[in-house]
Amino acid sequence: RNSRLVLGLPTGRTPVAFYHELAARVESGEADLSQATTFNLDEFVGIPAGHPGRFRSSITAHLFRRVNLAAERIHFLDGAAADTDAECARYERAIAAAGGIDILILGLGTNGHIGFNEPAPALPARTHRVTLEPDTRAGNAELFGGDPAAVPPEALSMGIATILQARQVILVATGQAKATVVERLVRGPVTPELPGSFLQVHPDVEIMLDTAAAAGLARS
């Protein structure tokens, strides 16, 4: 309905089925992304162009190579940038220049991270460089031949304020491993120790769960 939509997009396993469905609808002519803009949420630091572990590589394989987005309107954080602070600042400017994000789709880490905003006593508001937790590296090992030690120790990520400024947020979580963190995100306090809990203060959030991920909410 809005041909000039600005989308924020996650990687990980959760959105893959959605990307395939969206690509199928573009291929059948039901959806048109030719005027849309996208901003990826996050990226590992220091892996070179063409490496299959880059989030850019996986979302390109699942979505971008199949849809009619204009290349100049597909935005990525460059984790191989020499100056990552400048890269993060450039990304914030690019989001602002596009008019802000209309719909931001999020996955959820089992530790409560959104993007790569890891649990911490305090969270940087804006796009920033972050050190990843061992759990998070293990969770992404599949992209690096199954070896958590091969997963880069750092990443760039949109910040919590960048995320909360999206006009609409859709969080998607599937599987039993997310059930406890989903319950805490929805019912617990807003805390930087569970970054996804900040979504409680956003005025337009939809949370989409399968039965397994919703088990904690169903219990109480």
Q: Are 168 and 102 in contact (CB under 8 A)?
A: yes
127 binds ligand GLP (CB under 6 A): no
Shortest approach of ligand GLP to residue 2 CB, angstroms? 24
140 binds ligand GLP (CB under 6 A): yes
Which C-beta is closer to ligand GLP: that of 68 or that of 132? Answer: 132
Answer yes or no: 42 catalytic: yes
Q: Are 3 and 102 in contact (CB under 8 A)?
A: no
Angle between helices 16-27 and 55-62 (to 10 degrees): 40
Shortest approach of ligand GLP to residue 155 CB, angstroms? 7
**Contact set for ligand GLP, span 70-109 (CB under 6 A):** 107-109
Residue in the structure block whose two tokens are 């400048």: 86
Separation of alpha carbons 153 and 136, rounded Å: 9
**Contact set for ligand GLP, span 2-31 (CB under 6 A):** 10-14
43, 113, 117, 140: which is the annotated catalytic residue? Answer: 113
Q: Where are the alpha helices (DSSP H) in 77-167?
A: 84-97, 134-139, 160-164
Separation of alpha carbons 205 and 191, rounded Å: 17
Closest residue by beta carbon to ligand GLP: 107
Integer-rounded Cα radius of gyration of the chain:
17
Answer yes or no: 111 catalytic: yes
43 binds ligand GLP (CB under 6 A): no
Using CB under 6 A as the criterion, which residues of the chain lie in contact with ligand GLP when the complex forms?
Answer: 10-14, 41-42, 107-109, 115-116, 136, 139-140
Report the catalytic residues. Answer: 42, 111, 113, 118
